[in-house]
Amino acid sequence: QKEVEQNSGPLSVPEGAIASLNCTYSDRGSQSFFWYRQYSGKSPELIMFIYSNGDKEDGRFTAQLNKASQYVSLLIRDSQPSDSATYLCAVNSLDSNYQLIWGAGTKLIIKP
């Protein structure tokens, strides 16, 4: 059973600080890694994806991938109240026929 694990939270971060969200996965064959944001009552929307080890930056967001340790993280710099949402990690691999395996999500609360 391929698994993707996230701390359910809630993770409370003061406005302006860095929010750090983590995700671990069990399948060493995993190839693509996605971070989605889901506001309450809305559908998941893609924030960013990463394929290679290292960091990938997009504005205030940075995804970090470490395949040896089997974790992927999302950093949000200068956190804003509008970043308050649930963040879902998803991973795909050849073994899962390239389906996305989803984590349960981490609820992030940015306190003004």
Partner 1 sequence: DAGVIQSPRHEVTEMGQEVTLRCKPISGHNSLFWYRQTMMRGLELLIYFNNNVPIDDSGMPEDRFSAKMPNASFSTLKIQPSEPRDSAVYFCASSTSSGNTQYFGPGTRLTVL
Q: Please provide residue 111's backbone torsions phi and psi, each rounded to the nearest 5 degrees.
A: -95, 125
- Nearest partner of 62 among 35, 81, 98, judged by Cα: 35
Q: Which stretch binds partner 1 (CB under 8 A): 15-23, 51-59, 61-69, 97-105?
A: 97-105
Nearby residues of 42 by Cβ (< 8 Å), 6 or more positions away? none
48 neighbors 59 (Cβ within 8 angstroms): no
Q: Which stretch binds partner 1 (CB under 8 A): 30-38, 50-58, 61-69, 75-83?
A: 30-38
Q: Is there binding between residue 42 and partner 1 (CB under 8 A)?
A: yes
Give the nearest distance from C-beta 25 to partner 1 in angstroms.
14
Give the nearest distance from C-beta 16 to partner 1 in angstroms.
30
Q: Which residue has the tokens 């391929």?
A: 2
Choice from 1, 43, 69, 82 touching partner 1 (CB under 8 A)? 43
Between vectors from CA 42 to CA 82 and to CA 58, what angle results, nearest 5°? 50
Binding site for partner 1 (CB under 8 A): 31-32, 34, 42-46, 49, 88, 90, 92, 97-100, 102, 104-105
